[in-house]
């Protein structure tokens, strides 16, 4: 069973009260009953084994049987800046990036981005993406839900996210280092930020802009991958090299 994330104020040891939105899912969809056990997480580094002691149409609550703390992180954080993709592709990238352990996901509007987000729908779209990340974090038993940043232009991203320990931009048809060979930081206090372009790729001036901001152009090889494929392949390679996969 997945780990369910609860707001910290729902957890008041030795008891836990499940918020109404999750109650419906646990009671009506999963059909959990009195005495059953589930894992819940506060998203701040603590996970609790909970036994249900009250299951009614008005309330779902339980008692804490045990508490587990998040293991100390030994590798850098992974962040991804993804140019907004059309249709369900962006949803898919957010879901899979979460499963692969990305700590932050920054949706980007770039020169060749096909999807132009309407200002009046930004809040609803951001809430939807955050919900996708939450569900993926629960399914993959993450300790934390990645933060989905407010959609922004590449220039805003470069200004608001100063080049971290290692800053990379996936680029096709240019001379760049291989992601397999680029030196990676090793400290848990460092981070790796990967920028991934839209279906039409980065504009030349965007690559120049990123390089001037301290980003390194990298490649995944001679073949041209779809944008959503490139994002997940890059995260997979990085996690494998850092020892989080395999």
Residue 162 has pLDDT above 70, yes or no: no
Look at residue 163 in the predicted model and tell me its pLDDT: 64
In DSSP notation, the chain reads: -PEEE--GGGEETTEEE--HHHHHIIIIIS---TT-EEEEE-SSSEEEEEEEEEE-SS-EEEEEEEEEEPPPP-S-EEEEEEE--STTHHHHHHHHHHHTT-SEEEEEE-TT-S----GGGHHHHHHHHHHHHHHHHHHTT-SSPPEEPPPEEHHHHHHHS---SEEEEE-SSS--EETTTS-----TT-EEEEEE--TT---HHHHHHHHHTT-EEEES-SS---HHHHHHHHHHHHHHHHTS--
Q: pTM for this one?
A: 0.90
Confidence of residue 71 (pLDDT cuts 50, 70, 90): very high
Share of the chain above pLDDT 90, in %: 64
pLDDT at 23 over 90: no
pLDDT tens digits along 25-63: 888 888 888 999 999 999 999 999 999 999 888 888 999
pLDDT-derived band at 80, boundaries 50, 70, 90? very high
């Amino acid at each position: 069973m997945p780990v369910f994330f609860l707001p910290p104020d729902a957890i008041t040891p030795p008891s836990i009260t499940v918020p109404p939105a999750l109650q419906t899912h646990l009671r009506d969809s999963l059909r959990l009953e009195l005495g059953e056990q589930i894992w819940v997480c506060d998203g701040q580094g603590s996970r609790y084994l909970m036994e249900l002691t009250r299951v009614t149409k008005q309330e779902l609550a339980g008692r804490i049987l045990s508490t587990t703390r998040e293991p100390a992180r030994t590798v850098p954080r992974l962040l991804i800046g993804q140019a907004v993709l059309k249709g369900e592709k962006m949803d898919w990238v957010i879901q899979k990036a979460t499963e692969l352990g990305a700590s932050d996901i920054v949706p980007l509007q770039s020169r060749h981005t096909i999807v132009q987000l309407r200002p009046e729908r930004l809040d609803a779209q951001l809430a939807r993406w955050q919900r996708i990340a939450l569900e993926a974090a629960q399914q993959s038993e993450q300790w934390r839900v990645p933060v989905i940043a407010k959609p922004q232009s590449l220039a805003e991203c470069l200004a608001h996210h100063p080049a971290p320990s290692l800053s990379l931009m996936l680029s096709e048809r240019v001379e760049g280092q291989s992601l397999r060979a680029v030196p990676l930081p090793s400290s848990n206090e460092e981070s790796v930020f990967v920028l991934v372009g839209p279906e039409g790729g980065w504009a030349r001036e965007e690559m120049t802009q990123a390089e001037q901001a301290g980003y390194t152009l990298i490649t995944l090889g001679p073949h041209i991958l779809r944008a959503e494929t490139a994002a997940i392949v890059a995260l997979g390679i990085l996690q494998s090299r850092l020892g989080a996969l395999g």
